Amino acid sequence: NLKALADNKDYVDICELRLDLLSPSEVAKAADFPSMVDIPVILTLRRVSDGGKCTLQEKARRSLLIDTMKNGGFSYVDIEDDVKKSDVEEAAHSLGMKVIRSYHDFEGVPADIFSRVHSLASRGDVAKIAVTPHNTADVMTLFRINEELKDVPKIIIGMGEWGVATRILYKKMGSILTFGSNGKAVAPGMISARELKLLYRADQLNDNTGIYGIVGNPVMHSLSPQIHNPGFHKIHYNAVYVPFLSESIRSFLTLAEMLRMRGFSVTVPFKVDVVKYLGNITREVKQIGSCNTVVRVPNMWKGTNTDYYGFIHPIEKEIDDGRIKSALVIGAGGAAKAIVWALKMRTVKVMIVNRTKSKADELARLYGVGSDSLDNISQYEGKVDLVVQATNMGLHPYEDVNPAEKFHFSGKEIAYDIVYKPKYTKFLLAAEKAGCSLKFGWDMLMEQGKLQFESFTGYHYPKDIEISM
């Protein structure tokens, strides 16, 4: 525990000693723990029914807590909602400690959550609620607690992936603190103390902090928080960028309005669905039919598409030079659509090949380009300047798949893969072996992110920011 704390000392201002997670020999020394660390300590002995490991009888459990506290030094003791006996509280108060009254729900969010917080607060110095949201409405309920119970000292935590925003925006929720892990993935949705402090700067957020984010399902793997948060920090822009898991764009927009969000990114599967909720869209959004960037303008949301720009920017020079006049696009999904549109705009001649030929035909008809089955891909060998891998094959967990396996590069083509992780996909490795020059999904990702950052802030994305996968 001391080692974990030492490793994280720059990221934590308070820590919790979980007696139930210690070995018997560590428990014997626990009373001295506060004297070994220089931050406040919360003492907790969690029962199995509340997600802990303590199997002691209730009386013995309370005795162990009192015994551990008696040397003084602890700042808080955590005692559960249903504990009626007041011996722990009396001991704590006599030692000048504060009592956290806690309630856990690993299944959901209780219907009586407001009155629960109120009653917890009346029986302790701080009310702690750790519950499990399962949808956007649950998350909104947690954010609303502070509207109703603003002056109650509290800690409100949404557990699991749905609760991520409640941990990052803990100040917005009126919580006096939030919990971060020591870097190990202890539970879904639990962010490390390091990320909370260095990436999200959760402890620096205030009433003026602009809230931005990304909505998707799934969303936790997204690299966008790693792009936008350091960007905000570098230009001293008071804002935070948070991942939001959502079941629908419609429910997310209710939350976004409640949080007065200033803008958000949209990812799979909502890029098409979001368009109908936007009051103002750009020509690209209209023509591509999908939107990845939304900003708040007076009384409405405005949508733009930076995906197409992210794609075209890395090959802009080659198009201008006339090195790219024709392209073979593999795939006919959402990503391919923006790519074909972008190439068409730049008057590049496009041929689409797809596993399901009818989808290639449909996309080709829309933009007036050629189409064929992926099975015929070798027919285009030596005939195109650019080959774009625009499916999600190659992306983890499909690293071993190269949809263009049958295609033999001549070495003169430029090969471009939209997959950014891994950087060198099987498709790009095959192209490199043949002597092709390569374009990476990583650069596409960064370019769309930078333009998105400009839409959000009105400023250029700062230079010299290191982003790692």
The site for ligand ATR (CB under 6 A) is made up of 331-336, 354-356, 359, 374, 391-393, 401, 403
CB 338 → ligand ATR: shortest distance, Å? 9
Q: Is 271 a catalytic residue?
A: yes
* Alpha carbon distances (Å) from 256 to 31, 104, 139, 379, 450: 45, 27, 11, 49, 22
DSSP 8-state assignment for residue 175: B
Give the distance from CA 103 to its chain's centroid: 26
β partners of residue 103: 129
Name which of 8 and 391 has its Cβ closer to ligand ATR: 391
Name which of 298 and 397 has its Cβ closer to ligand ATR: 397
Question: What is d(CA 12, CA 4) in angstroms, rounded to the nearest whole number?
Answer: 11
Q: How many CB atoms lie within 10 A of CB 83?
A: 17
Quote helix, strand, coil % in the chain, to nearest 5: 40, 20, 40
End-to-end Cα separation, the chain, in angstroms: 29
CB 406 → ligand ATR: shortest distance, Å? 11
CB 391 → ligand ATR: shortest distance, Å? 3
Q: How big is the chain, counted in residues?
A: 469
Cβ(121)–Cβ(100) below 8 Å = no
Name which of 230 and 303 has its Cβ closer to ligand ATR: 303
Supply 258's token pair.
Answer: 């409640």
Phi, psi at 371, each rounded to 5°: -150, 155
CB 72 → ligand ATR: shortest distance, Å? 59
334, amino acid identity = G
3 state DSSP class of 118: helix
Give the distance from CA 253 to its chain's centroid: 17
Residue number of the CB closest to ligand ATR reads 333
Phi, psi at 76, each rounded to 5°: -135, 155
Question: What is d(CA 456, CA 232) in angstroms, rounded to the nearest whole number?
Answer: 10
Which sign, positive or negative, has the C-alpha torsion 35, 36, 39, 44? negative
Question: What is d(CA 351, CA 343) in angstroms, rounded to the nearest whole number?
Answer: 11
CB 348 → ligand ATR: shortest distance, Å? 19
Which residues does 319 contact at the CB level (< 8 Å), separation at least 6? 312, 346, 348
β partners of residue 102: 80, 128
Name which of 76 and 380 has its Cβ closer to ligand ATR: 380
Name which of 45 and 360 has its Cβ closer to ligand ATR: 360
Active-site residue identified among 271, 337, 426, 439: 271
Q: How many CA atoms does the CB half-sphere of 29 hold within 13 Å? A: 9
Name which of 64 and 401 has its Cβ closer to ligand ATR: 401
Q: At what angle do helices 136-148 and 113-123 cross, to 10 degrees?
A: 40
Task: Name the strand (E) or helix (H) holding 451.
Answer: helix 441-457
Q: How many CA atoms does the CB half-sphere of 344 hold within 13 Å? A: 20
β partners of residue 48: none
Cβ(161)–Cβ(189) below 8 Å = yes
Using alpha carbons, select from 457, 453, 425 the residue that is nearest to residue 441: 425
Give Dmax over CA atoms of the chain in angstroms.
Answer: 84
Catalytic residues: 271
